[in-house]
Structure 1
Amino acid sequence: MWEWFISFLTSVLSGIEGFVGDWGLAVIVLTVIIRLILTPLMAHSTKSTARMQVMQPKLKEIQERYADDPTRQAEELRKVYADMKFNPLGGCLPIILQMPVFFGLFSVARDISQLDANASFFSILPSISVSCSQMVESGNWAAAAPYLILVALFGVLTFIPMVLNTSMQDASQRSQTMTMGAVMSVMMLVFGWGVPAAVLLYYVTSSLWQVVQQKVITQRVVEKAKAEAEAEAEAASRPIEVDVVRREKKPRPHKKN
């Protein structure tokens, strides 16, 4: 199954390259296509995140109230999730769907080098099949410079989307996210040092798309979703009002003798 997917991905990338005339640009076009396909899922994920922010006080209350009863706690949390139409796994789905492409590009880059020994990204990257470490080891620093910049972007663009997400978090969560983002960025720098440039191009393009999407679209979606969730939560907690209309008493007719 995996070999079939690699073969399919190589064919798709080769077809795009035949249309645009450049392997690096083909990776960028493939990334844009994938992100366009995932846009509805990303919007749904954003709504789920916004709803989660609205539910935080209620979730904390449940966790504290049933701290000694995990079973009851889980049951109450499920009820809240159901009432708010929240799926805890919704935010993970777009990432999960992109992972096969991300890891598949490792093998695709190898196959591309066999199809075309000069699989470059215009005159910027001599080959998208080699890594930054290989270019540095070659001693050609002029050719290695774009690879070093790409690796730096690989780390920075891991951090920026996480920072943008802190706008919906409290101070404690914001601190944790910033720390996690810094650690992840360092890890990605180490990881990016040895991966093919095709993988870096895919990730950097995808991350840039995410940053633009968050600034242009996501904020509107978040505001709308939070407003809807707050309205639903308020409606659910509001007591039911019964409008009672009293009948007007009419005098009874008297029988005439």
Structure 2
Amino acid sequence: MNTILSPLYIAVSWIIVQFHKLYSLVFDEDSGWAWGLSIVSLVIVIRIALIPLFVKQIKSTRNMQALQPQMKKIQERYKNDRQRQSEEMMKLYRDTGTNPLSSCLPILAQSPFFIALFQTLSHIANNQTVGVLTQSQVESARSATIFGAPIASRFMDSARDVAELGASLGTVRTVTIIMIVLMSASQFFTQRQLMTKNMNLDVKTPYMNQQKMLMYIFPIIFAVFGINFPVGVLIYWLTTNVWTMGQQMYVIARNPTPGSLAFKQRQERLRKKGKLAEEPVETDTKKAAEAARAARSQPKRQSKAQRQSGGGQQQPGQVEKPQAEKPQTQKPQGQQPRRQQSKKSQPGKPSKPSANSKK
């Protein structure tokens, strides 16, 4: 096992040593601030490297939200057959390429680094070198304290073990309990924020039940196993929980899942700022354009007999040319004798005498 994880030991210890050199320019190199901030910086480096997985997690969550109407139909169709319901759900996941466990990817990806840091601090507590840490650096880290608790100490350590690190058992347990409570509370709040604000609670699906279960399971896991974690590991996990909570708050506020409470709140904020005022206007314009197209295309459906029976009345959208042609075909028939009379009266000029002779 040590051979397999030795590259991780080297990577984790190297990152800590580099940040420790940086913080030693400001703090005492043997202080808990120098070593504690080095662990915090290790978390920041790892979380930045895991941003692509976080983006994948967001996309998977959105896909699950989009599938909720179909999930509801499957539940209603096979509500009396749990096995068939599960089979149809799994088929839907396969067809859409959705993985309901993608929300756990960031936690799973951090596990190797978490184990490496745990083993590194365990070596420091036993005054053993690990990775690139030298013996002098191990002794410096072993004596460093956070609020009076050595970073290599644990809640379950005996009074003798704690005394060897130069601290009291009461101080160590008080600090570890506070950090465990903060760690569990931050994890619970992060998961609860995801469920209440960034999910559509109107549709009950297995994914919702899974997220609700994780909301209660993770804090319990942290509380149970936290008593066996060194203080340095508790610093690591508390920092990563705070990072996750802040990252999630940013994403929910800026790009919430459609249909969620956060999405409705964002739409309301944009509406108050006037940024959504143009949307109804654009919709009315499109409807007016479609109505205009329908009005222009309606006269083309009339037959020729219907257009001729309309007489001189102009129909909506009718071209003026057919109206001009109809009078031309009727006027020559009624005006032809008058034109002939005018032509006969012009050469002889006695048009008037001819009229008198008739009288």
Partner of 1:205: 239
Q: Aligned pair 1:2/2:14, yes or no?
A: no
Q: Aligned pair 1:170/2:173, yes or no?
A: no
The CA distance in 1 between the partners of 2:228 and 2:87, in whole Å, is 48
Letter in 2 for 1:129: A
Measured against aligned partners, the alpha-carbon deviations of 1:166-218 in whole angstroms (never above 9, x if no partner) come to 12152767687556533432332121112111211111000011111121223
Q: Aligned pair 1:81/2:96, yes or no?
A: yes
- Is the contact between residue 50 and residue 222 of structure 1 (CA under 8 Å) also seen in structure 2? no
- Is the contact between residue 118 and residue 126 of structure 1 (CA under 8 Å) also seen in structure 2? no
The CA distance in 2 between the partners of 1:121 and 1:107, in whole Å, is 17
Partner of residue 146 from structure 1, selected from 175, 178, 182: 175
Give the Å deviation of 1:95.
1.9
Q: TM-score, normalised by structure 2?
A: 0.54
Structure 1 stretch 179-188 or stretch 12-21: which is displaced more?
179-188
Partner of residue 130 from structure 1, selected from 153, 164, 174: 153
Partner of residue 44 from structure 1, selected from 53, 56, 62: 56
SS of 2:193's equivalent in the other structure is helix
- 1:1-257 → structure 2 map (5 Å cutoff): 1-21=4-24, 22-62=34-74, 65=77, 73=88, 76-78=91-93, 80-82=95-97, 86-113=98-125, 114=127, 115-119=137-141, 123-134=146-157, 138=162, 139-167=168-196, 168-170=199-201, 177-178=211-212, 180-223=214-257
CA RMSD of aligned residues (A): 3.7
The CA distance in 2 between the partners of 1:107 and 1:189, in whole Å, is 20
- Considering only CA atoms, is the larger Rg found in Structure 1 or Structure 2? 2
Structure 1 stretch 29-38 or stretch 140-149: which is displaced more?
140-149
The CA distance in 1 between the partners of 2:86 and 2:258, in whole Å, is 33
Give the Å deviation of 1:30.
0.6
The CA distance in 2 between the partners of 1:224 and 1:182, in whole Å, is 25
Aligned length: 233
Structure 1 stretch 122-131 or stretch 23-32: which is displaced more?
122-131
Q: Check 1:5–1:183 CA distance in 2 against 1; reply closer, same or farther (3 A cut).
A: closer
Runs (4+) off by over 6 Å: 173-176, 224-227
Structure 1 stretch 170-179 or stretch 3-12: which is displaced more?
170-179
Letter in 1 for 2:248: Q
- Is the contact between residue 159 and residue 169 of structure 2 (CA under 8 Å) also seen in structure 1? yes
- Is the contact between residue 136 and residue 144 of structure 1 (CA under 8 Å) also seen in structure 2? no
Structure ranking higher on relative contact order (CA contacts 8 Å, 6+ apart): 1
Letter in 2 for 1:41: L
Q: TM-score, normalised by structure 1?
A: 0.72
The CA distance in 2 between the partners of 1:33 and 1:94, in whole Å, is 14
SS of 1:92's equivalent in the other structure is helix
In structure 2, list runs of 5 or more residues that go unmatched.
25-33, 128-136, 163-167, 264-296, 305-359
